[in-house]
Chain A
Amino acid sequence: MRRLILIAIPYLWLLALFLIPFLIVVKISLSDTALARPPYFPQLDLATGWQGFVDFLRELDFENFTFLTTDDLYWKAYLSSLKIALISTALTLLVGFPIAYAMARAPEEWRPTLMMLVILPFWTSFLIRVYSWMGILSQGGLLNSFLLWLGLISEPLTILNTDTAVYIGIVYTYLPFMILPVYAALEKLDGSLLEAAEDLGCSRTSAFWLITVPLSKQGVIAGCFLVFIPAMGEFVIPSLLGGSQTLMIGKVLYEEFFSNRDWPVASAVAVVLLLILIIPIVLFQRNEQKQRESEG
C-alpha cells in the first residue's frame, strides 16, 4: 500500500501539472477564435450534460493546425529556434564542461564553495540579470568601452539586438543547468580507473576521451536536455537582447496570443512545439534503453 502511494505521487503530479493543462491547451487549439470572454468557441458547458459534450466535440476541428502549414512563418520560426537552441546548447556544453571538470578535480574542501558560486547568480532575478547584459553589450556599454580602452577595436561593436547577444544571454542564463549535472557525473567518477589506464600506458588525453567522457555521458545528456528544451521556447532573452530580425517560436507564440488575440492558433503553435520536443526525446530515450539492454 505504501509503495502504491509512493508510486502514485509522481503520477498524480504529472497528471495535475502536465497532462490536464496540456489537454486544456489541446482543447483550445481545436476551437475557433471568437470575440468573447474568453475569446474562443465552443465553450464546454458541463450543465448541458452528455449531449452537450457530444455537440461540443463535434464543433472541434484541426483547422488551426492546417493553418500553420499555409504560412512559411511558422516552420521558419521553428527551424530558427531549433538552430538557436542547438548552437547555444553546444556553446553551453563547451563552456560548462571544463568548469564542471575543474570543480570535480578541485580539492574536496573547495567544492562546496565552488558549487555555491555556480548557484549564486540565482539569488538575483533572472530579468535583472538579462537587463544588465543590455548594459554590458550596448554600443556605449561596458564591453565596448573596455575593448576601446584596450585599443582592440576603434569603433564600438554592434552586439546588442543581434543573434550574438541572444547566444550570450542563453549560454549565460542556462550555464548552471549544464554545470550541475555534468559535475554530479564527474564527481562520482572513480579516480582509480584513470590511474589504471595510465599504468597500462594510456596517455592522459586518450584516458580523458576513453574514460572520463563516456562515464560523464549521462550528465552531459541531462545537461543538454535542461538547456535545449527551455532555449527552444525562449521568449524573454530574444525579446530583450535580440533584434527585430531574430525569429523565434516563443516570439511568434506571444504575437499570436497578445497581438492577434488568437488563442486557438497560439495553442496549436504550442502543441506543435511540444511534439517537436517530445518525439525526438522519447525516441532518444528508447534508443538509449535498448543499447543498455543489449550491453547488459
Chain B
Amino acid sequence: MTKSLIALTAAMTLATGAIAEEVHVYNWSDYIDEELLTKFEEETGIDLVYDVFDSNELLETKMLAGGSGYDVVVPTGTFLQRQIMAGSFQPLDKSKLPNLENMWDVIQKRTDTYDPNGDYSINYMWGTTGIGANVGKVKEILGDDAPLNSLALIFDPAIAEKLSSCGIHLLDAPTEVIPAALTYAGWEGGPDDHSPEALAKAEEVVAAVRPYIQKFHSSEYINALANGDICVALGWSGDVLQARDRAAEADNGVEITYEVPSEGALMWFDQMAIPVDAPNPEAAHTFLNFIMDAQNMAAASNYVYYANGNKASQDHLIEDVIGDTAIYPDAATLDNLYTVTPFDVKDQRNLTRSWTKIKSGT
C-alpha cells in the first residue's frame, strides 16, 4: 500500500511538474495591472510570487549582497549598468525570448548605453522627470503667462520665493535633481557632468532656492499635488499623471499638469533582468517573454500610464496613453531628452555629500 502511494505521488509530481514551480518577481510598487499576474499563472501554470519595492538603492543592496531569491528584478538603467559590472545578472538566453521582436528600436538604442545589445535586460517602462504643477494656484500667483514648462518655476529664486507659500517639493534623489539644476544653469559640461565643479554649480543653484522648498521626498508629492497642498513638484511623469487623475476623480477643483521642461529633461528606463543566482531562470525567461507580448505590455501601460519599450504594443494602447505627449513625447520633445550614466564610487560619495549639504546645510 505504502509503496503504491509513493509511486502514485511520484507519478503525479512528474506529470504535473509545474505544481512545484515558482517564479519570484520583484518590481516597483503600483507598476503593473494585477490582472496580468493571474493571467500569467493561468497561461503557464507557474506560481507567481510578486513582491514590490520603492527605491533603487534598496534593490541594489539586495543585488550586491546576493541570495535575494528573486528570479526577475526591475532596476533603472544607471543602476542596472553598475549591477551588471558587479556581476549581479545573468545573460539572457534570447532563444527563449521570441517576443523580443516586438521591442522598439528607438528605446533599445537608448538603453544600449546601460546594457549593450540588451544582453542582460529588456525594457519594461520608461518616462521622464519633469514639472508637475497646480495650474490654478500657479497662475493665481504668477499670472496667466506663468512658465509652466520651464525649470525656472523651481530654480529661479524670484519665482520660487513667490511660490513657496503654496509649496514646492523636489524628488529626494540627487541623480534626478542635480542634472535638472545643471540643465537650468546651462552648465557647459552638460547635465551628466560628474566633476566636482559641476556639483558645486548644482549645489549653488539648489541652495539659492533651498529656503523656498518645503520638502525633498520621492512619493509624497503625488497626494500633495492631488489634494492641492502644494503648487509645484519636480517629479516622475507617471506619478504626476496619477496625481492629475486622482484630483480629477476627487473633483476637488484642483487641475494638475505634467510638462517636460523646455530646457531639457531626464529620460529614464526601468529594465527587467535576471539575477545571476535566480532560483528558477527558466521560469524567469517565461515571465519576460510573457511581459513582452504586445497585448500584455499594452495592458500594463494602459493601467499605469507609463510608456513602454514595446513597439508592437502600441496598436493596443488606449488613446489616453499613446495620444498623450506627456507619456509618449512627440519627436521634437524626444530630441530634447537626455540620459545620464552611473556615478563611480568616488563621484557617488561627492554626490551624496553635496546632497546632504543641500538638504541639511551641513
Name A's B-contacting residues (CB within 8 A): 33, 35-39, 71-73, 76-77, 161, 244-247, 252, 255, 257-262
B57-A245 in contact (CB<8A): no
A258-B58 in contact (CB<8A): yes
Choose among A71, A77, A247, A260 the residue that contacts B348 (Cβ–Cβ < 8 A).
A260
A38-B345 in contact (CB<8A): no
**Per-residue contact bits, chain B 326-362, to A (CB 8 Å; 1 contact, 0 not):** 0000000000000000000100110011011001111
Choose among A35, A161, A259 the residue that contacts B215 (Cβ–Cβ < 8 A).
A161
A244-B61 in contact (CB<8A): no
A244-B345 in contact (CB<8A): no
B349-A262 in contact (CB<8A): yes
A39-B86 in contact (CB<8A): yes
A188 to B176, CA, bound (A): 59
Choose among B88, B172, B348 the residue that contacts A37 (Cβ–Cβ < 8 A).
B88
A259-B86 in contact (CB<8A): no
A62 to B: closest C-beta gap in Å: 18
Tell me whether B216 is interfacial, beta carbon within 8 Å: yes
B352-A260 in contact (CB<8A): yes
Contacts of B361 in A (CB 8 A): 245
A247-B362 in contact (CB<8A): yes
Tell me whether B17 is interfacial, beta carbon within 8 Å: no
A260 to B58, CA, bound (A): 12
A244-B57 in contact (CB<8A): no
A72 to B353, CA, bound (A): 11
Q: A35-B86, A37-B87, A37-B88 given as contacts; is B362 within 8 A of A76 (CB)?
A: yes
A261-B88 in contact (CB<8A): no
For B58, B86, B353, B360, the residue with the greatest tally of chain A CB atoms inside 10 Å of its CB is B360
Q: A255-B356, A257-B61 given as contacts; is B362 within 8 A of A35 (CB)?
A: no
A259 to B348, CA, bound (A): 8
Q: A33-B345, A37-B87, A37-B88 given as contacts; is B66 within 8 A of A255 (CB)?
A: no
Contacts of B284 in A (CB 8 A): none
* Cβ-closest chain A residue relative to B357: A73
B297 to A: closest C-beta gap in Å: 30
Contacts of B64 in A (CB 8 A): 36-39, 261
**Range for the number of chain B residues in contact with chain A:** 20 to 34
Contacts of A39 in B (CB 8 A): 64, 86
A202 to B: closest C-beta gap in Å: 51
B82-A259 in contact (CB<8A): no
B360-A245 in contact (CB<8A): yes
* Cβ-closest chain B residue relative to A257: B61
Contacts of B345 in A (CB 8 A): 33, 35, 260-262
B333 to A: closest C-beta gap in Å: 30
B216-A244 in contact (CB<8A): yes
A136 to B215, CA, bound (A): 18
B203 to A: closest C-beta gap in Å: 14
| 4 closest Cβ pairs, A-B complex | A258-B57, A244-B359, A39-B64, A259-B352
A73-B353 in contact (CB<8A): yes
Tell me whether B63 is interfacial, beta carbon within 8 Å: yes
16 contacts between A and B (CB under 8 A): A35-B85, A37-B66, A71-B353, A72-B362, A73-B362, A77-B362, A161-B215, A244-B215, A252-B356, A255-B352, A255-B356, A258-B61, A259-B348, A260-B348, A260-B349, A261-B64
A245-B359 in contact (CB<8A): yes
Tell me whether B60 is interfacial, beta carbon within 8 Å: yes
A247 to B362, CA, bound (A): 8
